[in-house]
Amino acid sequence: MFFPFMPAHALEVKDVRFGIHEDKTRIVLDMDQAADFQSFVLSDPYRLVVDLPRFTWSVKNFTANDEAGILAVRQGALKPGVSRIVFDLSRSMSIRSAFVLPAKGQKGDRLVIDIARIGVDEFKQFKGQIHGNLDINNPPNNAGQSYSNKSKSKANAAVKNDYKPLVVIDPGHGGVDPGAVGKEAGLLEKDVVLKLALSLRDALVKSGRYRVKMTRSTDVFISLRGRVKFARDAGADLFVSIHADSIGNKKVRGASVYTLSEKASDKQTAALAARENKADLIAGIDLSVEDQDVVNILVDLARRDTMNQSKFFAGKLATVLPKEGVRTLEHTHRYAGFAVLKAPDIPSVLVEAGFMSNKNEARMLNTETYRNKVVSGLKRGINAYFDQVQKNQRE
Ligand code: ZN
């Protein structure tokens, strides 16, 4: 639907009201214009999330309403063009229906969301179900376009089996940044990981189950933040960064998998992440400028769910890699503050396929036979991860 007389200003959320019914709570957001939205529920703790095109929040009084099951509300920018509202719920609730009511008579445009109490066991089946059709990866850029008539909801697409998850593969380093230099003559990390990434892409595409994008498919430099941004802009369902670094102890060998943590799981890992995070300095990029990307407190909410999914995926990889004949480091799944893993809303892992500092491992990574084993392991882990994700969506 197009509103030709709509002034081209940002959406305004004017008020939030609750209506308590016997079988549901009705949440009404009074807005100055109709707009596309998406809404879903999360657990641990229970929350209702409402995403809208970037809005100004003019809600004067908000009072928690225990009877309605609503403890608090927060809102703010989520990403360019998109704002998020989060309602903290006091119990497990699901969305019964959500729709926009265009202005009529005295009443202005409203977004109506009906939520109802459900059992904790029942909750699973509603998790991940999206109501509404706002495409947060492609938000409208002015008010006149903020409400469309798309009838098919994204939820249906996501739940249906024909949805192909988007995997973003991120071969580390590139261009002016060679990464580690192998003990094997002339072998560079940037080349090894690109080969691994390209074969992984081919294997995933061939399976017919995924869409795949690569942060780089040639020998170019990309900043760490640029890699994260690429994955977010693409709307990735999973982010896999591939490396083969060097570490101090030349005897250490074996593949390992890392997920994000402020605190590294051990000294060796901390050193690895510290060195990895310097990639941008190598190319002369001033991180202090780039770092000013808006990091909103709301992002923490998404991060908690993402973190759990990342850990789950890393665990799967740690289990399946050896089954494909890939030698792994003990405590294969480790934690560290790799900058490239910081997308708050995309499950992300960094895979060290092996260490270039170990002569034997560098030699093996230089062979197609061994790289194929690594690729099979990664593919198997990705399959296992999405098997679980899709199972959760069906349950
Ligand atoms: Zn690296």
Decide: 34 and 102 in contact? Cβ < 8 Å.
yes
- Ligand 1 centroid to Cα of residue 108, in Å, is 54
> What local confidence, expressed as pLDDT, does residue 381 receive?
98
The band of 296, judged by pLDDT with boundaries at 50, 70 and 90, is very low
- Tens-place pLDDT, residues 180-239: 988 766 899 999 999 999 999 999 999 999 999 999 999 999 999 899 989 988 889 999
CA distances from 198 to 217, 363, 375 (A): 7, 19, 10
- Ligand 1 centroid to Cα of residue 366, in Å, is 16
- Ligand 1 centroid to Cα of residue 189, in Å, is 7
Closest listed residue to residue 47, CA positions, set 66, 74, 20: 74
- Ligand 1 centroid to Cα of residue 211, in Å, is 25
- Ligand 1 centroid to Cα of residue 387, in Å, is 29
- Which domains are assigned to the chain? 11-120 (2.60.40.3500), 166-394 (3.40.630.40)
> What local confidence, expressed as pLDDT, does residue 54 receive?
86
- Ligand 1 centroid to Cα of residue 3, in Å, is 50
- Ligand 1 centroid to Cα of residue 273, in Å, is 9
Q: What gap in Å lies between CA 133 and CA 153, rounded to an integer?
A: 5
Q: What gap in Å lies between CA 207 and CA 193, rounded to an integer?
A: 21
Burial of 15 (0-12, 13-18, 19+ CB in 10 A): middle
CA distances from 117 to 72, 86, 124 (A): 17, 17, 13
Helix axes 368-394, 189-207, angle to 10 degrees: 50
- Ligand 1 centroid to Cα of residue 305, in Å, is 26
Helix axes 368-394, 299-323, angle to 10 degrees: 130
Beta bridge partners of 132: 38
- Ligand 1 centroid to Cα of residue 279, in Å, is 8
- Ligand 1 centroid to Cα of residue 74, in Å, is 38
- Tens-place pLDDT, residues 334-354: 998 888 888 877 899 999 999
- Ligand 1 centroid to Cα of residue 277, in Å, is 9
- Ligand 1 centroid to Cα of residue 25, in Å, is 51
- Ligand 1 centroid to Cα of residue 185, in Å, is 18
CA distances from 46 to 138, 199, 287, 344 (A): 27, 40, 36, 18
What pTM does this model have?
A: 0.61
Alpha-helix runs per DSSP H in the chain: 120-123, 154-159, 189-207, 224-234, 267-276, 279-282, 287-290, 299-323, 359-365, 368-394
- Ligand 1 centroid to Cα of residue 99, in Å, is 47
Could you please report the per-residue DSSP string of 323-354? HTT--EEEEEEEEE--GGG--TTS-EEEEE--
The band of 324, judged by pLDDT with boundaries at 50, 70 and 90, is very high
Sign of CA dihedral 184, 190, 191, 196: positive
Q: What gap in Å lies between CA 145 and CA 134, rounded to an integer?
A: 11
- Ligand 1 centroid to Cα of residue 336, in Å, is 14
- Tens-place pLDDT, residues 12-38: 999 998 888 888 888 999 998 888 888
DSSP structural state of residue 124: G
Decide: 272 and 224 in contact? Cβ < 8 Å.
no
Q: What gap in Å lies between CA 93 and CA 69, rounded to an integer?
A: 8
- Ligand 1 centroid to Cα of residue 26, in Å, is 51
- Ligand 1 centroid to Cα of residue 35, in Å, is 43
Highest mean pLDDT among 50-64, 115-129, 362-376: 362-376
- Ligand 1 centroid to Cα of residue 323, in Å, is 24
Q: What is the mean pLDDT of residues 91-104?
A: 85
| Cα 206 → chain centroid | 24
Beta bridge partners of 276: none
3-state secondary structure of 31: strand
- Ligand 1 centroid to Cα of residue 383, in Å, is 24
- Identify the H or E element spanning 75: strand 70-79
- Ligand 1 centroid to Cα of residue 91, in Å, is 44
- Ligand 1 centroid to Cα of residue 115, in Å, is 46
> What local confidence, expressed as pLDDT, does residue 300 receive?
52
Structure tokens at 221: 């430099």
- Ligand 1 centroid to Cα of residue 210, in Å, is 25
- Ligand 1 centroid to Cα of residue 356, in Å, is 10
- Ligand 1 centroid to Cα of residue 300, in Å, is 27
DSSP structural state of residue 321: H
> What local confidence, expressed as pLDDT, does residue 148 receive?
52
- Ligand 1 centroid to Cα of residue 319, in Å, is 22
